[in-house]
Amino acid sequence: MHSFLTMFVQHDTMFAMKTENSQTQLPETRTIAFLGLGLIGGSIAKAIRRFPRGYRLIAWNPHGEKVDAAIAEGVIDKKLPSLTDPLLKEADLIYLCAPVRKNCENLETILPLIKDTAIVTDIGSVKTNIHETARRLGIANKFVGGHPMAGSERSGYYASKERLLENAYYIITASEDADEARIRRMTAFAAGIDAIPIRMDYREHDRVVAAVSHVPHVIAASLVHLVEDSDNAEHLMKTIAAGGFKDITRIASSSTQMWEEICMSNGDNITELLQNYIDALKTVQASISSRNAGDISAFFAGAREYRDSFVEASSGPIKKVYALHIDIADEPGVIASVSTLLAVHTINIRNIGITHNREVERGALRIELESDEDAQTARKILTQHGYTVC
């Protein structure tokens, strides 16, 4: 386990991981319920299955065939036919894995079935609504908010992976009425599946993710609309849109339903920060309009300096892309040779394509890999075989 994670592992960890300070062990069998079994819920369930201890996983999903598939794969032990099934009373940990507003409804439905010692958590990217619902229902002490900051271009259980959350930030949120013991256990749980727990107030969380995730998604979508609305009849803008433009607008391809839900749930923070962004655009617009070279230079220099200070890690709300650019000749079979070479070394290519616009990027062939480790290995292999990797 990553050395940073070990500091979070306490003697009351859900996984009962052995550390120098461990004094007790939890019972061999613990029941964990997933109410919704999509990308994140499925990935958490699969991560739990990496451990040999006897955790009983039960699940409900509005599309029951996903739970059936998880049972067939040995990920889930038992299917809950409904949210009011009495088996839910046995759950030690309850994961609310539906969309943000639906989680609030589901929490109210299951309220009579939550036992006194249970922990209730969620995976939503907006926390205020669910925390306020827990307080209104009188179970704020049992509720610990959670936001695993990982994702994929694909959604649903069939896209889930056991290592999706590995080294990804897992934000733990709590209210003033939260039970510290439950917070510690959820923190240890997140560390136990190899995520990186970070604790913050739920209101602070919603403002932070609005800035680093929600507003950027709105901006990406607006940039796509800008090109669409500004293009000519021959679609020249769309034709040459590549490189930097495709990278900064990549997240505009995310789920429409999910982003509608987020904007409805975190609207106040998003609109406030959007106004700040609009004001900043107006400022740089004025600098460009007046040809103020000093202000323009300071604008880009300040952004570059701050951007270069960011930690390069796979964690975060916007999924990192691991891409290589390769100089290749325009000859038959070259792309097949590159892909075969990597396949022989068991390196999976997530995406591959020719780069026609190279104002920013060098290299005619662009390949996306699954991880930084794969990217570094691929770079080494391709270089050893005479390819120039940019």
Whether 46 contacts 161, CB under 8 Å: yes
DSSP β-bridge partners for residue 121: 95, 144
Same domain for 56 and 165, yes or no, is yes
pTM: 0.73
User: Looking at the chain, how many residues does it have?
Assistant: 390
Which CATH number is 295's domain given? 1.10.3660.10
Instruction: State the Cα–Cα distance between residues 170 and 16, nearest whole angstrom.
Output: 19
Q: Specify whether 192 is located in the same domain as 235.
A: no
CB contact at 8 A, 145 and 177: no
Q: Give the pLDDT of residue 389.
A: 85
Of residues 85 and 167, more confidently modeled: 85
pLDDT in tens, 250-262: 777 777 888 898 9
- 43 burial (CB, 10 Å; 0-12 / 13-18 / 19+) is buried
CATH assignment of the domain containing 360? 3.30.70.260
pLDDT in tens, 92-140: 999 999 988 999 999 999 999 999 999 999 999 999 999 999 999 999 9
In a domain, 317, yes or no: no
**Position 375 pLDDT exceeds 80:** yes
**Number of folded domains that form the chain:** 3
273 lies in some domain: yes
Same domain, 331 and 270: no
User: Which two structure tokens, joined as six digits, stand for 320?
Assistant: 């990192």
pLDDT tens-digit readout, 80-98? 999 999 999 999 999 999 9
Confidence of residue 15 (pLDDT cuts 50, 70, 90): very low
Question: pLDDT value at position 360?
Answer: 41
The pLDDT value recorded for residue 249 is 80
pLDDT bracket for residue 315 (50, 70, 90):
low
Indicate if 259 and 178 belong to the same structural domain: no
Read off the pLDDT band of 319 (50, 70, 90).
Answer: low
- What CATH number is associated with residue 132? 3.40.50.720
Q: Is 23 exposed, middle or buried (0-12, 13-18, 19+ CB in 10 A)?
A: exposed
Is 221 found in the same domain as 183? no
- The pLDDT of residue 20 is 33
Please give the pLDDT value at position 388. 82
My answer on whether 218 and 298 are in the same domain is yes
Domain that residue 16 falls in: 3-202
311 pLDDT above the threshold of 80: no
Residues 214 and 146 in one domain: no
Cα 329 → chain centroid: 37
Domain assignment present for 315: no
pLDDT, residue 247, reads: 73
Q: Please indicate, yes or no, if residue 289 is contained in any of the structural domains.
A: yes
How many helices (H) and strands (E) in the chain?
Answer: 15, 12
Domain boundary residue, one of 282, 308, 334: 308
Q: What pLDDT, on the 0 to 100 scale, is given for residue 373?
A: 85
Give the residue-averaged pLDDT of 38-60: 90
